[in-house]
């Protein structure tokens, strides 16, 4: 087995929240103001439900998702579905990957870095794409504890500057705006589809479901607290702070004496963040490989092709990331909903027992 319960829990609790701490807080603050946690809460509930469904499914079968599909609909259909997921993961990776630019501009560089600098990410990503799932689990073992400590410290630095009265009165945003923002923020809550592709690659043990769900809950609570604190620190100017995580701790009183210690914490956290950004690329490679039924030695072509495509696309988009984010969020949420929420739940209808 390539993953174990502990690693799944670390992924759900320690990696799922990371992509939600960059552009999402300012976007939510822009549309829902001090109620920014409400859309996030709804999406977490939705995501949690899908995750629970996949975990329960894993308790009923030891088949992989591909086996489930092919046993129900035949191999050809299963390959087509995997091909669609291959493209979907690639597409879903675009926004978080491009979002990292905002973090980099804010936390890693004083000036806007050359787009060429990002080639390093894709080089490491190609290497990662050629590794087995076990590598991802072990990386989570090592990096999640480090990033969790870094995030907690960062959170502690920011609390001293937070004015939590800015969050009151509660529930002032009209329901329509909350619903719109919920749909709009969906591209940041697509993690629940990933465990579907871990099916058959981890051994379901007694307690796996509640351990992973508890871990997910802790991660979700952290994000909600982070959102609240972010708004409590910046108040009405929060929508202007695009890279929330690099802004939240910058007013720590000791900064003059010891430098931007919050940045050091972000660097510690970013190992996990970059790793997690690479997961959709890895999944895309695996899906396309399954779709075309190619041998392992050809993985390198998928990995290079996918990364090169995203990198080239970045050259055209790197000045318009905010517009790109709006475009993807507004027009593509049905696609996200289908692949990340509906299909994982519908997987219950597939033939779980061995013929």
Partner 1 sequence: MKTSLAENRTAMKKELPSEDILSFRFHTGSGIECELFYADGIVDKELMGTLVINPLLRYRGDAEEKALFEALAFPELKCVKSEQEAVSAILEGNPVLFADGVSSGFVLGTKKVPQRAVTEPQTELVVKGPRAGFIEELKTNMGQVRLRFKTPNLRFETLQIGKQSKTSVAVCYLSGIASKKVVQEVKKRISAAEIDAVPDSSYVSRFLCPGRPSLFKQVNTTEKPDIFCARIAEGRVGILVDGSPVALTVPYLIVEEFQSPEDYFVNPYRATFLRLLRIGVLLLAIFLPALYVAAQLFKMQLIPLSLLLTIASSIQGLPLSPSLEVFVTLMVLEILNEASIRMPKYVGLALSVVGALVLGETAVNAGILSTPAVILIAFSGIGLYTVPELIETTSLLRLITLFVAGSVGIYGIVLFALFLVIYLVGEERYGSPILAPFAPIVGNDLKDSLVKFSMKQLKERPRAIGSANRTRLKEE
110 burial level (CB within 10 Å; 0-12, 13-18, 19+): exposed
Binding residue (CB under 8 A) for partner 1 from 109, 309, 315, 316: 109
Binding residue (CB under 8 A) for partner 1 from 74, 207, 240, 259: 259
Q: What's the CA gap between 351 and 221, in Å, rounded? A: 35
Instruction: Tell me which stretch binds partner 1 (CB under 8 A): 63-71, 185-193, 194-202, 255-263.
Output: 255-263
Q: What's the CA gap between 63 and 354, in Å, rounded? A: 8
Nearer to partner 1, 71 or 299 (CB): 299
Helix (H) or strand (E) holding 211: helix 208-234
What one-character-per-residue DSSP string does 224-286 give?
A: HHHHHHHHHHHGGGGGG-SSHHHHTTTT-TTHHHH--HHHHHHHHHHHHHHHHHHHHHHHHHH
User: Binding string to partner 1 for residues 115 to 154, with x set by CB under 8 A, is what?
Assistant: --x--xx--x--xx--xx-xx-xxx-xxx-----------
Q: Assign residue 248 a region: left if phi > 0, alpha if psi is -120 to 50, beta otherwise?
A: alpha
Q: Give 202's strand partners.
A: 3
Binding residue (CB under 8 A) for partner 1 from 263, 304, 313, 342: 263
Binding residue (CB under 8 A) for partner 1 from 267, 292, 298, 319: 267
User: Binding string to partner 1 for residues 215 to 254, with x set by CB under 8 A, is what?
Assistant: ----------------------------------------
In the complex, minimum distance from the CB of residue 93 to partner 1, in angstroms, rounded to a whole number: 16
Residue owning tokens 């929420």? 341
Applying the rule CB under 8 A, the residues between 15 and 74 that interact with partner 1 are none
140: tokens are: 């989570």
Nearer to partner 1, 144 or 328 (CB): 144
The residues that touch partner 1, with contacts defined as CB under 8 A, are: 4, 6-7, 104, 107-110, 113, 117, 120-121, 124, 127-128, 131-132, 134-135, 137-139, 141-143, 256-260, 263-264, 267, 270-271, 274-275
């Amino acid at each position: 087995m390539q993953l174990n319960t502990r690693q799944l829990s670390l992924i759900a609790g320690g990696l799922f929240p990371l992509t939600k701490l960059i552009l999402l807080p300012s976007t939510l603050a822009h549309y829902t103001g001090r109620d920014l946690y409400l859309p996030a809460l709804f999406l977490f509930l939705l995501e949690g439900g899908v995750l629970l469904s996949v975990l329960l499914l894993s308790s009923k079968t030891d088949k992989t998702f591909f086996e489930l599909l092919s046993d129900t609909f035949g191999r050809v259909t299963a390959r087509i579905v995997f091909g669609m997921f291959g493209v979907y993961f690639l597409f879903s990776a675009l926004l978080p990957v491009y979002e990292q630019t905002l973090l980099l501009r804010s936390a890693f560089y004083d000036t806007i870095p050359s787009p060429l600098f990002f080639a390093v990410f894709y080089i490491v990503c190609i290497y990662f794409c050629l590794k087995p799932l076990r590598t991802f689990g072990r990386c989570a073992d090592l990096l999640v504890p480090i990033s969790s400590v870094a995030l907690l410290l960062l959170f502690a630095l920011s609390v001293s500057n937070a004015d939590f009265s800015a969050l009151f009165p509660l529930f002032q945003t009209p329901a329509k705006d909350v619903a719109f923002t919920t749909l709009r923020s969906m591209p940041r809550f697509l993690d629940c589809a990933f465990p579907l592709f871990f099916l058959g690659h981890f051994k379901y043990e007694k307690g796996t479901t509640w351990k992973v769900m508890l871990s997910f809950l802790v991660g979700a609570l952290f994000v909600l607290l982070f959102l609240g604190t972010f708004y409590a620190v910046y108040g009405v100017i929060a929508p202007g702070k695009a890279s929330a995580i690099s802004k939240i701790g910058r007013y720590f009183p000791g900064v003059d004496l010891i430098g931007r210690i919050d940045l050091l914490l972000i660097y510690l956290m970013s190992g996990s963040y970059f790793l997690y950004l690479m997961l959709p690329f890895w999944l895309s490679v695996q899906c396309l490989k399954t779709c075309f039924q190619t041998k392992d030695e050809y993985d390198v072509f998928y990995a290079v092709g996918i990364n090169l495509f995203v990198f080239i696309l970045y050259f055209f988009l790197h000045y318009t990331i905010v517009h790109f984010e709006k475009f993807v969020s507004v027009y593509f949420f049905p696609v996200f909903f289908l692949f990340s929420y509906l299909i994982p739940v519908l997987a219950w209808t597939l033939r779980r027992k061995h013929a």
